Structure 1
Amino acid sequence: MGYRVVVVGATGNVGREMLNVLAEREFPCDEIAAVASPRSTGVEIEFGETGKMLKCHNIEHFDFTGWDIALFAAGSGPAKEYAPKAAAAGCVVIDNSSLYRMDPDVPLIVPEVNPDAIDGYAKRNIIANPNCSTAQMVVALKPLHDAARITRVVVSTYQSVSGAGKPGMDELFEQSRAIFVGDEVETRKFTKQIAFNVIPHIDVFLDDGFTKEEWKMVVETKKILDPKIKVVATCVRVPVFVGHSEAINIEFADEISAKEAQDVLREAPGVMLIDKREDGGYVTPIECVGDGATYVSRVREDPTVENGLVIWCVSDNLRKGAALNAVQIAELLGRRHLKKG
């Protein structure tokens, strides 16, 4: 016996990826519904590569009663209006927006890192999916934290345009094409030209000079991993279609060598260590597309601090950073709380 599952925001990048991941992982669905905004009502989308076509329902009229799990990939606005309605109808919401992440009554989950936190889901019947850049980082940090206790993290991100949705991907494509054919470059989604450029600005600026994306990485890492860890982030948008990369400097309370860290990471759940100290012996964003792993490369000791390491971390932001993590949360929820049959 399976579950009745709703994907909200099914026509977007992450929503479509959620459908793909549900199908690939053979999540036990007795019934699945695609839900989207009124303008997408009636649009047909494929359920992974099953050949099954789903006709989109209008979220304004959708009744969540009798459905078990709703995966929300529609942004903070729809999540604010409809997630509580779904939760009140008895449908557990797994939300990909930032809206509920720091709510003390909402678990913020990365299954490889803090699975026990999911036991608090019933307070609001809502579970939060973390920021894409946070998710991959904590998967890499968790085993190292267990081994030598992390005290401080300095991270610089290189985030793909798919993190800004389809408009971001379209803008990179259109600007690149315009440059090659000599047309005028138009900027709509991003604050500056993204083609052949990098932009040190993701989300809105806060009063302290950091951006909200950088703030998210700080507070979410503390909530998921350990509130005692000091974190500072610089988040940068780069002209890559899919796949986020991170350069992470880590300081530890206890001594840990690069070799010991490699051994720990090699056995860690969700981590794929590719670390050959030779040309091409590391992973880049284009190689992780379509994969669910968090890849770690270039593990080395930081000679500028006591008990320090530096690592390179890459992952498909639409997968582990969003859709895959949401489905893994649903699987964890099913094993621990919503057992069927």
Structure 2
Amino acid sequence: MECCKGNQEVIVYHGSRVEITPDFFCEAVWPGSYEAGGFDQTDVIAGSGGRIRNSAIIFVSSGSTVDRLNMLRGDRCVWLSNSLVCLLSAADADLNPAYGFYYKDLYSVVYGIDNCKRLLATSKGDVELVYFDNVRWDGNMASVVPKPSVNRELVNFGQYLGFLESTMEQLAENIYSPIRPKRLRMLGTLSAGYDSPTLMALASGVGCDEAICFDRTHLNEEDSGESIAGYLGVRPIVLSGTAWRHLQKPEIPFIAANSMGEEVRFSAAAETLAGRVLLTGYHGDKMWGKRTKHLGPNVVRGDPSGLGLTEFRLWAGFIH
């Protein structure tokens, strides 16, 4: 997006899977009516978009730290994108090939949305990494604003489970809305752990009937959840965790996302992922772990897993 001071128009450069209406544009899903376009009024959203509200536009980032918005402020214009690569290209900006700490800077997201490194130096100024928060453009200035505060009563397991189930039901209604101009379908993942199976146990009840099962992790450890698929009544899509090694330079979009590239095995699933809403369960190990010390709104994580998909998913055409 290109926003210039004093100009009532905002220019949006977008791909073929971005949905356009008179009041909003998005590549996103959220628990609410698609037609109402209220993705700027919730903290539960996957993907990104922009929503006109009164005399301003709210640019909405994903409600997680496996995605982000990227913003570059100029003297007169502000550029925003869900892709760091596309932002740099549109602004004709370059990173510094002699700078040796991009990995460290992008890894810092594990320290939480209030403590991570937010700025990446470029030839045209600092790019601001906007995790979880939204950006408000009023025609003259871009301001990072928090997502709306939602009051939820989660004082016992029953209330928590009810929240998860009702949210999944509303997400499914949004995903499969007949009003959507671009058809979407849910796709799960199943590993030998408990985070993705927990998510699939919820999603299988609202129409998610397929799940990707990689036979091995990026560290070449056995990790297939194929046997779990049978218990949940979903069709396993079994893929080799090392098939990416036979592709032509598959690491590029994954390294461009967070300088790590550990999700590169998903490159072998590109055709399967097109037009899907991918459910992964990253961070579940900390949310549900017995010894996790840092649970709270700051989203402190154990590792940056999932963030490596943020560029690849836009190229492959799916929502994470």
The TM-score, its normalising length taken from structure 2, stands at 0.28
The TM-score, its normalising length taken from structure 1, stands at 0.27
More helix by share: 1
